[in-house]
């Protein structure tokens, strides 16, 4: 079935599935079924390591997630109905997931591959300050700091705080104008940096469907689209309008969902199941060819605590072993620019990414991704170097490196080591890192080499 026919099928299901209140969906479908499958498939994380090598657990988690999704479905908030798929349908549709895509154009085109757990194929570096607020006057230097990095393969933009001095509000003409402005600026900066064909993800400023669709004409063939699912396992017409437009125009969707650790999925076992199921749902219902689901901590707002790394290690290991999805890891980290904490965290999450079957590493988002101006291209460069180094080491070495890093940042997470904004860590006129920030990066790199990472 092609995507257009399948889209109509999804819409039909959203109009004809069982009617249910949202609260009943949360408790009777999501919570109850997670509890059931965790017990039925014995989902339990008993290892102490960060990077699981319990392949049997991964396989059970996959079966549990398919069983769970078939009995839970995806809730359509606008129709008040559940979009349902049988286990057989889920397995069949997942078998259609492409294992390879080319994003970007011309010299800037990049291959994105489905990866196995210890694959030596490189993860694509989506080194980007995704959605972090940035004052308008710093938008250009901030974006330049990333696009000028040769190891950045794909870009995703920060959220500009104003447009020509005006506060942007969703569902208004300002949002429509801001969407166009964002694309025009991004394309201009990419050309200036000599990366005219770099794959860009749009449109970050356009939250609503109207803002999004009006600026989608800017998207090139090699660009991708960001569409988020509402947690847990919910869509609405705003989301599906964006999806419908993307399907009609054959655009690649890099969808996402960010379940809350400790939320409806509960602790580690339930989160493993939920993470897999949400990845599957992103492909089934939202046609995301490069989806990403990262459990977020409810109090720390990061996704690199030990528990979260363990969840991702099993969940993405399961996906990697059972279907061709190209998975994306998006990282929200506690450390901000100008701190070594951030750099240790970047190492840790990229060990996870490279050794758990991910295809794309997106971020890092320093200072939990919400502090205005807290981002710089240097950490994206570091990420690109780490991806290359990680491809050359075995799983056990990656585990050891991750342990070393966690020892350096684990206790710092709740201290909010937010560091400094871009204009304090970079020379804004030359768009080069300031000496102290560059020195920190070099020192951590040296340290990583002593831990066994073959960095250039």
Partner 1 sequence: MDKKYEMLAEAIIDGDDEAALEATDALLNQGVAPLEIFAECIQETLNELGEQFAKLEIFLPELILASDVVSVVQTKLKPLMQATTSATNVGRIVIGTAYGDLHDIGKNMVSLMLQVNGFEVRDLGTSVEPKAFIDAAEDFDADIIAISALMLPTLPYMKDTIEMVKGNPSLAPKIKIMVGGGPVNPMWAEEVGADGYSNDALEAVTKARELVAELEKGGQKE
Residue 266 makes contact with partner 1 by CB under 8 A? yes
Binding partner 1 by CB under 8 A: which of 27, 191, 407, 449?
A: 27
Give, in order, the Cα–Cα distances in Å from 131 to each of 204, 223, 364: 6, 17, 11
Residue 333 makes contact with partner 1 by CB under 8 A? no
Candidate ranges 118-126, 255-263, 316-324, 336-344; the one touching partner 1 (CB under 8 A):
255-263
As measured in angstroms, the least distance from the Cβ of 324 to partner 1 is 30
d(CA 441, CA 378) in angstroms, rounded, equals 8
Residue 428 makes contact with partner 1 by CB under 8 A? no
As measured in angstroms, the least distance from the Cβ of 229 to partner 1 is 10
Give the 3-state secondary structure of the chain. CCHHHHHHHHHHHHHHCCECCHHHHHHHHHHHHHHHHHHHCCCCCCCCCCCCCCHHHHHHHHHHHHHHHHHHCEEECCCCEEECCCHHHHHHHHCCCCCEEEECCHHHCEEEECCCCCCCCCCEEEECCCCCEECHHHHHHHHHHHHCCCCCCEEECCEECEECCEECCCCCHHHHHHHHHHHHHHHHHHHHCCCCCCEEEECCCCCCHHHHHHHHHHCCCCCEECCECECCCEECHHHHHHHHHHHHCCCEECCEECCECCCCCCCHHHHHHHHHHHHHHHHHCCCECCCEECCECCCCCCCCCHHHHHHHHHHHHHHHHHCCCCEEEEEECCCCCCCHHHHHHHHHHHHHHHCCCEEEEEEEEHHHHCCCCCCCHHHHHHHHHHHHHHCCCCHHHHHHHHHHHHHHHHHHHHHCCCCCCHHHHEECCCCEECHHHHHHHHHHHHHHHHCCCCCC
Using CB under 8 A as the binding rule, the residues of this chain from 29 to 48 that contact partner 1 are: 31
As measured in angstroms, the least distance from the Cβ of 364 to partner 1 is 16
Candidate ranges 23-31, 85-93, 247-255, 448-456; the one touching partner 1 (CB under 8 A):
23-31
Using CB under 8 A as the binding rule, the residues of this chain from 220 to 249 that contact partner 1 are: 230-232, 236, 238
As measured in angstroms, the least distance from the Cβ of 315 to partner 1 is 17
Residue (238 or 350) nearer to partner 1, CB: 238
Residue (105 or 258) nearer to partner 1, CB: 258
Residue 165 makes contact with partner 1 by CB under 8 A? no
Residue 175 makes contact with partner 1 by CB under 8 A? yes
Residue (30 or 354) nearer to partner 1, CB: 30
Residue 208 makes contact with partner 1 by CB under 8 A? yes
As measured in angstroms, the least distance from the Cβ of 102 to partner 1 is 30
Nearest to 358 by CA among 318, 399, 391, 328: 328
Candidate ranges 84-92, 187-195, 262-270, 319-327; the one touching partner 1 (CB under 8 A):
262-270
As measured in angstroms, the least distance from the Cβ of 301 to partner 1 is 8
As measured in angstroms, the least distance from the Cβ of 206 to partner 1 is 8
Residue 28 makes contact with partner 1 by CB under 8 A? no
Using CB under 8 A as the binding rule, the residues of this chain from 71 to 100 that contact partner 1 are: 77
- Contact characters 284-303, partner 1, x per CB under 8 A: --------------xx-x--
Residue (155 or 261) nearer to partner 1, CB: 261
Residue 369 makes contact with partner 1 by CB under 8 A? yes
Residues lying near partner 1 in the complex (CB under 8 A) are found at: 26-27, 31, 77, 131, 133, 159, 161, 167-171, 175, 178, 205, 207-208, 211, 230-232, 236, 238, 259-267, 270, 298-299, 301, 369-372
């Amino acid at each position: 079935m092609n995507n257009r026919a399948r889209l109509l099928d999804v819409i039909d299901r959203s109009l004809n599935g069982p009617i249910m209140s949202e609260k009943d969906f949360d408790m009777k479908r999501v919570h109850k079924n997670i509890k059931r499958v965790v017990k039925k498939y014995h989902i339990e994380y008993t290892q102490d390591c960060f990077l699981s090598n319990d392949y049997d657990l991964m396989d059970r988690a996959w079966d549990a997630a398919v069983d769970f999704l078939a009995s839970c479905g995806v809730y359509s908030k606008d129709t008040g109905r559940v979009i349902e798929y049988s286990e057989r349908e889920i397995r069949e549709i997942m078998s259609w997931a492409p294992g390879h895509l080319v994003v970007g154009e011309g010299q800037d085109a990049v291959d994105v591959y489905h990866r196995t757990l210890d694959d030596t194929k490189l993860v694509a570096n989506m080194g980007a300050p995704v959605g972090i607020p940035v004052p308008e006057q710093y938008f250009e230097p901030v974006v330049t700091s990333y696009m000028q990095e040769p190891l950045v393969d794909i870009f995703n933009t920060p959220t500009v705080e104003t447009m020509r001095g005006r506060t942007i509000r969703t569902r208004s003409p300002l949002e429509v104008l801001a969407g166009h402005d964002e694309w025009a600026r991004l394309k201009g900066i990419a050309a200036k940096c000599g990366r005219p064909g770099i794959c860009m993800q749009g449109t970050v400023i356009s939250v609503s469907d109207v803002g999004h669709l009006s600026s989608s004409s800017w998207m090139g063939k090699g660009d991708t689209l960001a569409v988020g699912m509402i947690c847990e396992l919910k869509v609405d017409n705003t989301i599906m309008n964006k999806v419908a437009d993307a399907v009609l125009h054959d655009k690649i969707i890099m969808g996402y969902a960010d379940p809350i650790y400790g939320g409806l999925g509960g602790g580690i076992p339930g989160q493993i199941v939920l993470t897999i199921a949400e990845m599957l749902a992103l492909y089934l219902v939202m046609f995301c060819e490069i989806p990403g689901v990262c459990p977020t901590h409810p109090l720390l707002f990061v996704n690199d605590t030990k528990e979260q790394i363990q969840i991702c290690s099993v969940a993405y290991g399961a996906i990697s072993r059972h279907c061709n999805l190209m998975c994306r890891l998006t990282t929200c980290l506690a450390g901000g620019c100008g701190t070594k904490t951030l750099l240790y965290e970047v190492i840790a999450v990229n060990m996870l990414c490279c050794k758990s079957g991910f295809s794309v590493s997106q971020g890092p988002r320093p200072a939990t991704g919400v502090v205005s101006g807290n981002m710089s291209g240097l950490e994206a460069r570091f990420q690109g170097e780490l991806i290359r180094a990680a491809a050359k080491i075995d799983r056990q070495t990656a585990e050891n490196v991750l342990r070393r890093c966690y020892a350096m940042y684990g206790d710092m997470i709740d201290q909010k080591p937010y560091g400094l904004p871009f204009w304090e860590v970079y020379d804004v006129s030359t768009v080069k890192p300031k000496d102290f920030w560059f020195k920190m990066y070099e020192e951590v790199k040296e340290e990583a080499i002593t831990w066994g990472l073959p960095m250039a």
